[in-house]
Structure formats: C-alpha cells, structure tokens
Structure 1
Amino acid sequence: MARRRLAKKDIRALNATLEQFGVEFSKKDAVELVTMEAGTFTVVNGEPAFVSYDGLFFPHLKFLQTHTTNLPRLTVDMGAVPYVCDGADIMRPGVVAVDEGVVAGALVIVVDEQHGKPLAVCKALLDAAPLKEAVKGKVAENIHYVGDVFWKLTG
C-alpha cells in the first residue's frame, strides 16, 4: 500500500476532475491518494471519498453518506435492497423513481426508497425517458456497492 499526501497544486488539479460531480475540496483539507491492489482511493480528512479502478473514477459510498453530489439517482424498492447490496445489477421492476438527469453510460447513485441511503454507484444503461417507459430488463450496471471490496478495505 502506497500513501501520498497531495500538495495544494495537486488538490487544484483534482478539483478540476471532481467538477463533474459538483464536489470541491479546499486547500485546508488533508487529501491523500492511497494505492492498493484493489484500486486507488482518494482519502479526504481520513475518510474515503473517491475510487479509481479499471479506468473508472467514482465517489465512494461512505463519502456519499455524508456529502451530496450532482449525480442523478435511481430509487429502488426495499425488496431490491439485499440484491443490490450483494452486487446485483439494477433491474427495471425494482426501480420506483428515476431522476431526469439519468444518461446512458453515465454514473448514477442507487438509493433505497425508505431511507434514501446510497446503496450503490452504477453505470446507467438507458437514458431517463426510456428507463421510465421500460417494464423489464437491466437498467444499470453495479460498479460499487455496500459490502464490496472497496467498502471493506476502508473499514
């Protein structure tokens, strides 16, 4: 495991990347890059914030529990929760609400309908309108979920 604290100029460069998520870190934040076999984690003030893995860069679920981003959301019914938390892709019958900003190929946050808690970060397979009209099939590919390797590595 390699750990490196970012300088102020590196934080500025990182903020340019984070702009797509509507997130910005200040120069006062302690920002580190932690490289592990599973991927590279951006750690801010001791908490995991973002993950870089297999060419993808996405927010860590622990970060999403305490911070907001501009990523659109898919809301799933409570019956889908155990499957999503076990790494299953998101199927249309379990989706109860779709944000208008959902775009095919872009990241979405999957939340449960009862508490609105983030369960997964996924890649949408359909735009919002066709997704709302669909009645069956896979609508999002699960990338990071509660209980996966990224979750477990960060305690």
Structure 2
Amino acid sequence: MVKRYFLSNKDIKELSNAVGELGSLFRNAKKVEVYELNEAVTVYIIDDKPLVAKLMIKMDTGTKEYIIPLLTYFYINPAYMPNYPVITVDDGAVPHIVNGADVMRPGIKEISGNFNTGDVLLIRDLKGRYIAIGVSLMSVDEMRNTTKGKVIKVIHHLNDKLWSLAKELIKQ
C-alpha cells in the first residue's frame, strides 16, 4: 500500500543532516513529499521532483539501508555531479546492467574514487551516461586486483521500477 505525505520543516532539517552528501537537496527544498511504495522502497519528492530514494537492500550480511540519488535526477539536472566513486563499463556490459544484471569485473573499463565494501557506486557507460547505481562487493584495491567475478550489486538501473515510478511522478 502506497503512503504519501509531506515532511515538516523540522523533519526536512533532520533528514538533510542524516543523508550525507544528498543533504543539500533537502536543505534547499521548499517542500518534501514522502512516497512510501512499500517497506523496502521510499521515494523523496523534492519540490515536485523525485530525486532521492531510500532502499532496504538484502546483502550477505543482512539488510542494509541505502539513500541514493535517483537516476532520473541526473537527466533532470545534468549539472549535478555527486561525489560518489564512479565505475565505467564497456558497451558489452551495458545491456546486461540495464536489464538488472550485477556488474562483473571483466566489463569494467575504469574505476574512479575510493570505496570500501558496501559503498554506493555510480555506474556509467563509455559515453559518460549514468546507467545504474550499485553497491560495491569489495574495496577499490580488491576490485582493481581481481579479474573475474561479480564485483557490484546493482540496486537501481535505467528502466527499472524506480526509474518508471520517477518518470510517472515527474508527469504528475
């Protein structure tokens, strides 16, 4: 069951302090609407734009909460450059990733930034377009030193349910 409600200014301030880098999106907002899709997915609609999601992701060590920018935000606001590590994948990996596959090490062309196991990573194609957001399954050094296997769990990608929901919310 979907629940929708607006946050008070006090709640917006608390949330902006709790979400790290994405806090500036909330601090500058005139209104923030919460769209709770289910227990695992919440979308934050900031000034009528779906920009951020809170996801409960099952990992090997249990369930972990991630607060991520939605991919639609990169297309709404191309000037926004988040401060996340970026993984660039080859053209052969793109169709698999946008269909929900996790990222395998052989498909990676470039690794930028520092990260540890469980950190959020942005995944882009060779043309620089963001195609997915994932969670690293290893540290940057481990990823650079391995040649095979699954290295990133994809948690949001182009054309997934979150992408479609965000596009619908933009039209409203």
Q: Normalising by the residue count of structure 2, what TM-score does the alignment of the two structures yield?
A: 0.81
Q: 1:124 aligns with which of 136, 145, 155?
A: 136
Is 2:140 the partner of 1:138?
A: no
- Output the CA distance in 1 between the equivalents of 2:29 and 2:142: 43
Structure-to-structure mapping, 1:2-151, within 5 angstroms: 2-21=3-22, 23-37=24-38, 39-54=41-56, 55-65=65-75, 66=77, 67-114=80-127, 116-151=128-163
Contact 1:43–1:50 at 8 Å: present in 2 too? Answer: yes
- Output the CA distance in 2 between the equivalents of 1:121 and 1:39: 15
Contact 1:88–1:142 at 8 Å: present in 2 too? Answer: yes
C-alpha spacing 1:23/1:128, structure 2 compared with 1 (3 Å) = farther
Structure 2: state its 5+ residue gaps: 57-64, 168-172
C-alpha spacing 1:120/1:28, structure 2 compared with 1 (3 Å) = closer
Contact 1:22–1:70 at 8 Å: present in 2 too? Answer: no
Contact 1:21–1:71 at 8 Å: present in 2 too? Answer: no
Q: Normalising by the residue count of structure 1, what TM-score does the alignment of the two structures yield?
A: 0.89
Q: CA deviation at 1:10?
A: 1.2
- Output the CA distance in 2 between the equivalents of 1:21 and 1:134: 31
Question: What number of residue pairs does the alignment pair up?
Answer: 154
Q: CA deviation at 1:20?
A: 4.2
Identity %: 29
Higher normalized contact order (CA 8 Å, seq sep 6+, divided by chain length) = 1
Contact 1:71–1:107 at 8 Å: present in 2 too? Answer: yes
Is 2:164 the partner of 1:152?
A: yes
Contact 1:80–1:94 at 8 Å: present in 2 too? Answer: yes
Q: CA deviation at 1:27?
A: 4.8
Structure 1: state its 5+ residue gaps: none
- Output the CA distance in 2 between the equivalents of 1:79 and 1:18: 34
Q: CA deviation at 1:83?
A: 0.6
SS of residue matched to 1:32: strand
Letter in 1 for 2:69: P
SS of residue matched to 2:27: coil
CA RMSD of aligned residues (A): 1.8
Contact 2:102–2:152 at 8 Å: present in 1 too? Answer: yes
